[in-house]
Amino acid sequence: MLKLIAMWSNARGVWETDRASLLCGHSVPYSETWPVWGMTRAGVAYQLPPLEHRTADSESLCLLPTPDAKLSRSGADYHRATRIGSGGDDLTTAMHKHFPPPPAGDDTPQRLPDGSTSPAG
């Protein structure tokens, strides 16, 4: 949803809000900080909604480790997280824990992290 921020006034050479001044009746000049995301069209500035998706809770937050080159040579190390000083799971292990593959031949739709379901098959 677009939110109106200000309108350009050619007569005054300023961005104006949609509020009128109590003293003179002119629109109040826009004097706030411009938003990070926005657009202008035909002399009207709009704030755009944030690009990130909102999460329902902290359980849906899944931070994955950075991949490293050894994964292509040695594969997943499923016991790495239990070793002191290892830094936790590698990327392949973390992916299998958070997104386990369905059993072979299982046509049941799978629940995805965003709450939707995958197509069967």
What pLDDT digit, counting tens, does each position of 50-83 carry?
777 665 655 555 677 777 777 667 767 777 777 7
First to last CA, the chain: 36
Amino acid at 74: S
pLDDT tens profile 111-120: 666 667 666 5
**Is residue 72 included in any domain, yes or no?**
yes
User: pTM for the full model?
Assistant: 0.40
In this structure, are 42 and 66 located in the same domain?
no
DSSP 17-85: EEEEPTTT-SEEEP-SPPPSSEEEETTEEEEPPPSSPP-SSGGG--PPPPP-THHHHH---TTGGGSTT
In this structure, are 9 and 40 located in the same domain?
yes
**Is residue 106 included in any domain, yes or no?**
no
**Is residue 117 included in any domain, yes or no?**
no
In this structure, are 67 and 35 located in the same domain?
no
Expressed as residue numbers, the domain containing 72 is: 62-98
